[in-house]
Amino acid sequence: MSIYTVPFVINGEERHAENTFDVTSPDTGKVVHQCGIATEKDAVAAVEAAAAASQQWRDTSAAERRDIFLRAAEIMNNRRKELAQYVIDELGAAAAWAEFNINLTIDMYKDVAGRVAAVEGTIPPCAPGTSAMLVKEPYGVVLAMAPWNAPYILGTRSVLFPLAAGCTVVFKGSESSPRTHRSIVSVLNEAGVPKGVINYLVTDPAHAPSVTKSLIANPAVKKINFTGSTAVGKIIAEMAGQHLKPLVLELGGKAPAIVWEDADLDLAAQQCALGAFFFSGQICMSTEKIVVHKKVSEAFQEKLRVTIEQMFPSKGDALVLINARSVDKSKKLIKDAVSKGGVLLNGDVDAEESSKTRLRPIIVSKVTPEMDLYQQESFGPSASLIEVGSEEEALRVANDTEYGLTSAIFTEDLKTAFRIAKGIETGAVHINSMTIHDEMTLPHGGAKASGYGRFNALTGVEEWVRTKIITWKN
């Protein structure tokens, strides 16, 4: 029996590449399917298809687009079992993570369907004898690039908001989740998106630089969105800057959670453990710095240890990461911290697991700025715990990072919470809940090296329209 090969989708038709690569399950180590390797020629074809379909799509009514997105939500729900299995196979994820992705994506389709008609122009006041109107027009062809870790949520939002605004899309999926990302296009095509409006391709790491450069440089591409690491985001931004193309970037994070002296420690322990280790810490919003007031640090640490054992029992299976490199990176950061005086509060960095893609939750206390773990995003199941004695110190530690995506504060005093929240340099602050929080009504994005621009809500739709002024003499 031949193994399935994930195709590209260009102008509504499946296209199979000459060369392929294996997609391997991080959980079992087995090849689950293969995927085509896109070339610059494929990139050109995808952009040409999107450009050819642009006028037709921008001329569709808001009602037509709304109905397509509502059908997509229904289709995704009907195909739930199939779609969940792709996530489980490609990411080694638990069924709960697949369901979470599907549920939030269905909500996204419904929410955006209701916002399509909300993009409006205005008639501003002008000088005597002159009138004007401000109209909002779709950019045109958009290049969307999404990562593997929350594949339905991040993949769908990368294409859905531009589509809602009347743009056509070239969607460059992740080599780690190609079939999952391919199914996003399948759902939209089944829902009635016309040929060429959304085009899909994937390539391998060796060809990614040339293919991405070709896509960005293509004159027909008018705006770009990228979700991924800050390191790659800087490269994308530099390429786009050479062509003066605007971007929406959602990049890495080093999310702090501040546990204050009056916090509900049971709640804080639960939310910090979940925020740090949900989906093995492979979320840009994962809790990476736990900043604890000295007065409650000892009590909190004990509750945190107990909570971690309850949520992720040491006698159960270790957490699965996307590949062995991610495990090695986390271990390297932890070992560096311990060698410089850090203390393991939870976990064993030298533990042997059933595969090289597994690692159990680890907390390191007494972390200082000299340690790599203090500054670098681990993107794995590890977090640092740092004690502070004042609000000023808490804010200094929380902000002492290049990142600024999200954060959390645990306190029973709302005035304290608001005061600290105003001082944290992040795109979101969550009071008495974990750093991981994403819902469709809230604009989502970061500060500093966590990117710029916003997804979600009406703001997320209006990222993909530009204003035009039309004047006339009365």
CA 80 to chain centre: 21
The structure tokens listed for 276 are 């740090």
The single residue of 284, 387, 462, 463 carrying the catalytic annotation is 284
Active site residue 250: yes
What 393-399 contacts at long range (C-beta under 8 Å, 24+ apart), as own/partner pairs, is 394/258, 394/260, 394/291, 394/293, 394/420, 395/420, 395/423, 395/424, 397/256, 397/289, 397/291, 398/256, 398/258, 398/289, 398/291, 398/424, 399/423, 399/424, 399/425
Residues 384, 142: Cα–Cα separation, whole Å = 39
Q: How far is 304 from 288, CA to CA, in rounded Å? A: 14
Catalytic residue among 48, 90, 250, 288: 250
62 is written with which tokens? 């808001």
Nearest Cα to Cα of residue 143 among 120, 127, 157, 162: 162
- 272 a catalytic residue: no
Structure tokens at 238: 């530099």
Q: Which residues of 11-32 are buried (b: 16+ CB within 10 A; e: fewer)?
A: bbeebebeebbebbbbbeeeeb
Q: Contact, 435 vs 383, CB < 8 A?
A: no
Which residues touch 414 (CB under 8 Å, ≥6 apart)?
431
The span from the CA of 227 to the CA of 451, in Å, is 9
State the DSSP code for 253.
Answer: -
Residues labelled catalytic? 250, 284
